[in-house]
């Protein structure tokens, strides 16, 4: 699995966009970028994934650079409930399942 690098912590003002960066310079062509988050005392929650193109769902947008060596997760209007640890994971999606390797993640603090 490609190694990812994320800042250990970030702050964001409530109502503003939160932009969480992830570096994955050794990513292979068949590896996807996944984002999960973990709110305190809960299990991780899937947010979004992408291969090459930018992706958007009801929770967030994922912007992947053209060379695929980095990506940004965007929470367009952060709320206090978005305070969590955000994990960027790079992994091949195979038919037998998808074993995730979590790093340290980014602790996002949304402040009023």
Q: Does 101 bind other proteins (CB under 8 A)?
A: yes
Tell me the C-alpha to C-alpha distance, in Å, between residue 48 and each of 33, 41, 111: 8, 21, 23
Q: Does 28 bind other proteins (CB under 8 A)?
A: no
The vertex-87 CA angle with 86 and 93, nearest 5°, equals 140
Q: Does 93 bind other proteins (CB under 8 A)?
A: yes
Q: Which of 58, 66, 67, 96 binds other proteins (CB under 8 A)?
A: 96
Tell me the C-alpha to C-alpha distance, in Å, between residue 85 and each of 46, 66, 94, 105: 12, 26, 26, 6
Q: Does 104 bind other proteins (CB under 8 A)?
A: yes
Q: Which of 73, 105, 106, 108 binds other proteins (CB under 8 A)?
A: 105
Distance CA(69)–CA(53), nearest Å, equals: 13
Q: Does 57 bind other proteins (CB under 8 A)?
A: no
29/97 with CB nearer other proteins: 97
Q: Which of 45, 54, 56, 79 binds other proteins (CB under 8 A)?
A: 45
Distance CA(91)–CA(41), nearest Å, equals: 25
Q: Which residues bind other proteins (CB under 8 A)?
A: 32, 34, 36, 42-46, 49, 85, 87, 93-105
């Amino acid at each position: 699995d490609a190694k990812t690098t994320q800042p250990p912590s970030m702050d964001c003002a409530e109502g503003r966009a939160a932009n969480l960066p992830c570096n994955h310079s050794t990513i292979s062509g068949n590896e996807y970028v996944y984002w999960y988050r973990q709110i305190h005392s809960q299990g991780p929650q899937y947010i979004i994934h992408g291969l090459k193109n930018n992706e958007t769902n009801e929770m967030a947008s994922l912007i992947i650079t053209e060379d695929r060596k980095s990506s940004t997760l965007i929470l367009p209007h952060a709320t206090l409930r978005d305070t969590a640890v955000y994990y960027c994971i790079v992994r091949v999606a195979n038919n037998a399942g998808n074993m995730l390797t979590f790093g340290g993640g980014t602790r996002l603090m949304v402040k009023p």
